Structure 1
């Protein structure tokens, strides 16, 4: 059960940071275009 908790927390972390990573990538693209 301990392993399942770690996996669940990891997946939640990935979901929470995925949007931030996409936003940062868009920011970088805009800077390069400018």
Structure 2
């Protein structure tokens, strides 16, 4: 169970960074 939770947290962190990168790119292209 603990390993599953760690994997889920890692997935959310990596997914979150991807969302941030995409958002930053959109902001840069708008400027």
TM norm. shorter chain > 0.5: yes
Q: What are structure 2's unaligned runs of at least 5 residues?
A: none
Superposed CA RMSD: 1.1
Partner of 2:20: 25
> Over alpha carbons, which structure has the higher Rg?
1
User: How many pairs were matched up?
Assistant: 28
Q: What are structure 1's unaligned runs of at least 5 residues?
A: none
Q: Which aligned segments of 4 or more residues in structure 1 are displaced greater than 6 angstroms?
A: none
